[in-house]
Amino acid sequence: MPGPGEFELIREYFGSRFNTGARQGSDAHTVALGIGDDCALLNPPAGKVLATSVDTLVAGVHFPAAEDPFRIACRALRVNLSDLAAMNAEPLWFTLALTLRDSDPQWLEPFARGLAQTANQYGITLVGGDTTKGPLSITIQVTGACEQPLRRDGAGAGDRVFVSNQLGAAAAALPLILREVDGSVTQMEQAYAAYHFPEPQFAVARAIGPYASAALDISDGFLGDLGHICEASGLGADLDLDNFPVAELARSMNGETALETALTGGDDYQLCFTLPEKHLQTVQKLQLPITAVGRMRAAAGIQCSLDGKPWQPGATGYRHF
Amino acid sequence: MPGPGEFELIREYFGSRFNTGARQGSDAHTVALGIGDDCALLNPPAGKVLATSVDTLVAGVHFPAAEDPFRIACRALRVNLSDLAAMNAEPLWFTLALTLRDSDPQWLEPFARGLAQTANQYGITLVGGDTTKGPLSITIQVTGACEQPLRRDGAGAGDRVFVSNQLGAAAAALPLILREVDGSVTQMEQAYAAYHFPEPQFAVARAIGPYASAALDISDGFLGDLGHICEASGLGADLDLDNFPVAELARSMNGETALETALTGGDDYQLCFTLPEKHLQTVQKLQLPITAVGRMRAAAGIQCSLDGKPWQPGATGYRHF
């Protein structure tokens, strides 16, 4: 069906809602020209390094095609913001490349609303985009500014390994969201919150920025992502799982295998970071929602212990939706 | 089929070929950290404004799915670079979000080769990306730096309207490329050059940058795109078509309707710009490949004349592949 053209689409659903372009708001000093020209024109903050990341979510792969568009938008932008948080960057601008089967207002309106709500919450401005016809997919590129970037290649042998908050909720949520299993109202609420509204860990990143030696966000599962820090830093790690922060939903849904869910489940977007011993006391005094789970070591590989005994998870990696 | 994972894919085909990340090359001062972390880290050139643009090409919509991947890559990046040229921005960085049905080396190798060749030719560095499984589509976001941005909202009444080089070749090429009609070897060569290797008009943009009042690249057809300048600048235009620069391929393929092809056909990526009368002599002395085709006026709408008589094209807009 011939819907409205590309230009009208962008203008109608995104132009007005996002206050794009030059304006009086908090981003007036960085956005010289927003949506509507060949390029957006942006003034980078002086003396800072820019951090940028792009992610694509494909219907039928990263989310069910029939999923609520409001939730899809919230999750898509939050997942991208998490990459900025993991770098200790403050959000500045983002672009949206949206491919749609047709220009259905019943889909676009809640999608744009979810995107705008999330953008406003995290102080990031939509500065450009492209709308094309085709199989539903969403590509978002976020850009932020940072003074103390947290890379994944800076860990040292002996550094403590930390994770933020709890892990395993998003993986435990998936069977509930897909209605493969039944759950209580509380479990469903926890599932939607964990899966659709992951919280980019800006506050934790900002607090640990001056002290941490390496960091990333846990998108593919803790063990795999810690493996990226190990590989990038040329190290291994010893983990003590006795106090590993397993999310309540993982415990209530998965019982005996909850620890494995927390170690290998993806989509939580919590931070994993390493901290040199000398900063341990300083960071502990900050009373952050973080747990020490192990220590980096020179020898490659990741060794786990539970109750003083070696322990191995039954599964690794993660399952896309 | 379970191909190599996302990380291996990116590393194997793009990491090595593009010299991504911190390095000794010409971009060492702007790229602090390339592919492989949560974000790329970039140092924007001091005192310049950044220009950024994103475009998605979907298989079956913007290019035939069976098209040669080398050519797809060249065209995808050139089309995006054209947005930088239209803004008078110099290329800095780009990201690639690639969605693929499977990780077929026979597709990826020539695609990566075409992308790398084009990136090196225009001096733009791949700094990040995402590879996802799904229906084939290519999203590229380019970023450049500019001192004298050429926006589309700066035209004044009385400004001359110019176009660069010739128009209509890409639209005339399409039936040849799709093998809907037969052509000579020369016509086929012209068709592939026009359609797959459009030239971002950096040299023209750089030369007119200090003088032009508005500019854009002609992607959707000259009349429609000039309409964007008119709309953004709150003006109309009078066009004299007697010397309109119609591409040779449009003449040889389309005969009597060649002028219409040049006026309404898309995908040429030539520049359309407006020039205040006071700069006319200065710019004419630069001997650029440009043609004056009309004049901006206060009253809205675009009026064309040919042989001294009012003229209207039979069709407007353009056809995706």
A138, A268, A290: which is closest to A211 by C-alpha? A290
Residues of chain A neighbouring B217 (CB-CB closer than 8 A): 38
More confidently predicted of B102 and B295: B295
**Interface contact A97-B42, CB threshold 8 A:** no
Q: Say if strands A160-164 and A290-297 run parallel, antiparallel, or are unpaired.
A: antiparallel
The model's pLDDT over A189-216, given as tens digits with 9 standing for 90+, comes to 999 999 999 999 999 999 999 999 999 9
Average pLDDT, chain B: 89
Ranking A126-130, A245-249, B19-23, B313-317 by mean pLDDT, the lowest is: B19-23
Mutate to test the interface with A, among B37, B49, B225 (most CBs of A within 10 A): B37
The model's pLDDT over B190-229, given as tens digits with 9 standing for 90+, comes to 999 999 999 999 999 999 999 999 999 999 999 999 999 9
Distance (Å, rounded) from C-alpha A295 to C-alpha A303? 10
State both tokens at B157. 């009444």
| Helix or strand (DSSP H, E) at B84 | helix B69-86
Q: How far is CA B80 from CA B26, B74, B118, in A?
A: 21, 10, 11
CA distance B183 to chain A (A): 30
More confidently predicted of A29 and A284: A284
Q: What percent of chain B has pLDDT over 90?
A: 73
The model's pLDDT over A79-121, given as tens digits with 9 standing for 90+, comes to 999 999 999 999 999 999 999 988 788 899 999 999 999 999 9
Q: What is the pLDDT of residue B65?
A: 86
The conformation of residue B159, written as its DSSP 8-state character, comes to P
What residues have CB less than 8 Å from B182, skipping those under 6 apart? Answer: none
| Location of each CATH 3.90.650.10 domain in chain B | 160-311
Distance (Å, rounded) from C-alpha B233 to C-alpha A277? 61
B234: pLDDT strictly greater than 90: yes
Categorize the per-residue pLDDT at B313 as very low, low, confident or very high, splitting at 50, 70 and 90. confident
**Interface contact B52-A133, CB threshold 8 A:** no
Categorize the per-residue pLDDT at A10 as very low, low, confident or very high, splitting at 50, 70 and 90. low
Q: Which residues pair with B97 in a beta bridge?
A: B130, B139
The residue of chain B nearest to residue A50, with distances taken between CA atoms, is B42
Residues of chain B neighbouring A83 (CB-CB closer than 8 A): 38-39
| Location of each CATH 3.30.1330.10 domain in chain A | 6-146
The answer on whether B53 is annotated among ligand-binding residues is: yes
Q: How far is CA B269 from CA A12, B100, B130, B199, B219, in A?
A: 26, 27, 27, 7, 5
Q: What is the pLDDT of residue B1?
A: 30
Q: How far is CA A233 from CA A130, A237, A283, A300, in A?
A: 37, 11, 22, 10
State both tokens at A151. 């890379």
Categorize the per-residue pLDDT at B10 as very low, low, confident or very high, splitting at 50, 70 and 90. low
Side chain identity at residue B123, one-letter code: G
Q: What is the pLDDT of residue A101?
A: 87
The model's pLDDT over B62-97, given as tens digits with 9 standing for 90+, comes to 888 888 999 999 999 999 999 999 999 999 999 999
Q: What is the pLDDT of residue B46?
A: 87
Q: Which residues pair with B129 in a beta bridge?
A: B96
At the fourth CATH level, which superfamily is domain B6-146?
Answer: PurM-like, N-terminal domain (3.30.1330.10)
Residues of chain A neighbouring B43 (CB-CB closer than 8 A): 49-50
Dump the DSSP string for B19-68. Answer: T-SS-SSTTTTTEEE-BTBSSEEE-PPTT-EEEEEEEEEEBTTTB-TTS-
Mean pLDDT across the stretch B173-201? 94
Q: What is the pLDDT of residue B68?
A: 93
Name the residue facing B217 among A38, A40, A133 (closest C-beta). Answer: A38
Residues of chain B neighbouring A33 (CB-CB closer than 8 A): 149, 151
State both tokens at B166. 């010739």
The answer on whether B37 is annotated among ligand-binding residues is: no
Query: Is the CA virtual torsion B220, A32, A83, A171 positive or negative?
Result: negative
Categorize the per-residue pLDDT at A23 as very low, low, confident or very high, splitting at 50, 70 and 90. very low
More confidently predicted of B65 and A5: B65
- Nearest 5°: CA angle at A63, between B321 and A316? 120
The structural architecture, per CATH, of the domain A160-311 is Alpha-Beta Complex (3.90)
More confidently predicted of A18 and B40: B40
Residues of chain A neighbouring B141 (CB-CB closer than 8 A): 54, 95, 97, 141
Distance (Å, rounded) from C-alpha B306 to C-alpha B314? 14
CA distance A20 to chain B (A): 14
**Cβ pairs bridging A and B (under 8 Å):** 185
